[in-house]
Amino acid sequence: MCVLFIVRHRAFYQLEPVLSVVGRKVDEVVEHDVKTCPVCVKAKEKITEKQFVSRRKTLLQNKLIEDKIQRHLVCKNSLDLIGELAASLPKPSDDPQEIWRRLLNS
């Protein structure tokens, strides 16, 4: 769809001296087609690229979070937690003074 549009972006200002030379009005109303205008096409491409990068980034971050959750579930199951707890408890062969020191400092 074509619309009548006063061109305000850079392409128009680049044309401005040319239009002045041929004696036309500087703020002339020109036909503007968003689909063929190079400035608009380039802006649209930039937006599309940014959206693509943003979507890919979100997907990768979600995958990273999912991997972390899976790793956590594998490493921190209840049996492993009991094992870690048992390993941290004092042994009967430990020095009682050392056991008291650890207990009071924790």
Residue 37 near Zn ion by CB under 5 A:
yes
Q: What is the size of the binding site for Zn ion (CB under 5 A)? A: 3
Stretch that binds Zn ion, among 15-23, 32-40, 80-88, 90-98 (CB under 5 A): 32-40
Buried b vs exposed e over 24-45: b needs ≥16 C-beta within 10 Å? eeeeeeeebeeeebeeeeeeee
Distance (Å) of CA 9 to CA 50, 58, 61, 85: 21, 33, 37, 68
Stretch that binds Zn ion, among 21-29, 39-47, 70-78, 91-99 (CB under 5 A): 39-47
Residue 40 near Zn ion by CB under 5 A:
yes
Judged by beta carbon, residue 23 or residue 38, the one nearer Zn ion is 38
